[in-house]
Amino acid sequence: MSGRGSVSGSPFGTGAVALRIDGLRKSFGSLEVLRGIDLQLAEHEVVCLIGASGSGKSTLLRCVNLLEPIDAGRIAVEGEEITASGVDVDRIRRRIGIVFQAFNLFPHMSVLDNVTLAPRRVLKLSRSEADAQALELLGRIGLVDKAREFPDRLSGGQQQRVAIVRAIAMHPDLLLLDEVTSALDPELVAEVLSLVRELAQGGMTMLIATHEMGFARDIASRVCFLDAGRILEEGPPEQIFRAPREERTQRFLQRVMEAGRL
């Protein structure tokens, strides 16, 4: 897997390219939400997308997961173009996990069944194999005793951690996190972020849309500032947060700081 698509002379480390986006455009009706996105992620890299609401962060993630059809450009995962025509989208999505702002757990299933559904139905694991793996993962996040509970019995933070585990259970090459703490009460944010940190330390390649600037500064190998459907500025977090080059980035960070989020 790592042999494919390795790039020499990449400015972002020497690892193989996990995700490559070229000239991505996406409109909803007459509204152009993404206006030419170019982005590369090396394996094991963690990239945070910051920017105001409506700047296109979520849409970008949904396009990478093929939940939204794109209008122009191309996206490649591990060297394979996933936006080519005739690609089996189910096979691609298996390799790309996404965690949503609103958790989107399946309310009619126990926590355990939420986690094992895709491994059993898609990867064709036996129930016992899938259960064993799910219980191991739930154990790691301290929720093994909630395995038989239904999602509505869990706190928001617990639900979001289960949603992350549900995505991880498919062993994705790439994990997309779409403002995973935005729907949480403040006191529940930390438990979710610490799980994401653990994943980063474990080498998971992640593309993260977030409003948590402190978290982005800690965790990101690179930060991209999105503005009106374009990546206006990108760089290492210390540069973006301390010395942003673009005026719009400065104004955005200024507003965030005034709101006490940095």
* Stretch binding another protein (CB under 8 A), from 77-85, 116-124, 126-134, 215-223: 116-124
Residue 130's Cβ-count burial label (10 Å; 0-12, 13-18, 19+) is buried
Min separation Cβ 162 and another protein, Å: 12
**Cα 19 to Cα 222: distance, rounded to the nearest angstrom:** 14
- Counting residues that bind another protein (by CB under 8 A) gives 24
To the nearest whole angstrom, how small is the minimum distance from the Cβ of residue 246 to another protein? 32
Q: Which of 130, 167, 184, 204 binds another protein (CB under 8 A)?
A: 167
Site map for another protein, 142-161, x if CB under 8 A? ----------x---------
CB of 122 to another protein, least distance (A): 4
* Distance in angstroms between the alpha carbons of the first and the last residue of the chain: 38
**Binding flag, residue 94, another protein (CB under 8 A):** yes
Among 11, 69, 108, 202, binds another protein (CB under 8 A): 108
Please tell me whether residue 247 binds another protein under the rule CB under 8 A: no
Q: Residue 107 or residue 214: which is nearer to another protein going by CB?
A: 107
Query: H/E/C letters for each residue in the chain?
Result: CCCCCECCCCCCCCCEEEEEEEEEEEEECCEEEEEEEEEEEECCCEEEEECCCCCCHHHHHHHHCCCCCCCEEEEEECCEECCCCCCCHHHHHHHEEEECCCCCCCCCCCHHHHHHHHHHHCCCCCHHHHHHHHHHHHHHCCCHHHCCCCHHHCCHHHHHHHHHHHHHCCCCCEEEEECCCCCCCHHHHHHHHHHHHHHHHCCCCEEEECCCHHHHHHHCCEEEEEECCEEEEEECHHHHHHCCCCHHHHHHHHHHHHCCCC
Token digits of residue 174: 């790439």
For another protein, the closer CB: 76 or 99: 99
Q: Is residue 65 at the binding interface for another protein, with CB under 8 A as the rule? A: yes
Pick the stretch among 9-17, 101-109, 206-214, 221-229 that binds another protein (CB under 8 A).
101-109
Told to check if 107 binds another protein by CB under 8 A, we report yes
Interface characters, 7-46, with another protein (x: CB under 8 A): ----------------------------------------
Q: What size, in residues, is the chain?
A: 262
Q: Which two tokens stand for residue 204?
A: 């998971």
For another protein, the binding residue among 1, 84, 87, 122 (CB under 8 A) is: 122
Q: Least distance (Å) from another protein to the CB of residue 51?
A: 22
Q: Which is nearer to another protein, 57 or 166 (CB)?
A: 166
Q: Which residues form the interface with another protein (CB under 8 A)?
A: 65, 67, 90-91, 93-94, 96-98, 100, 102, 104-108, 117-118, 121-122, 152, 166-167, 170
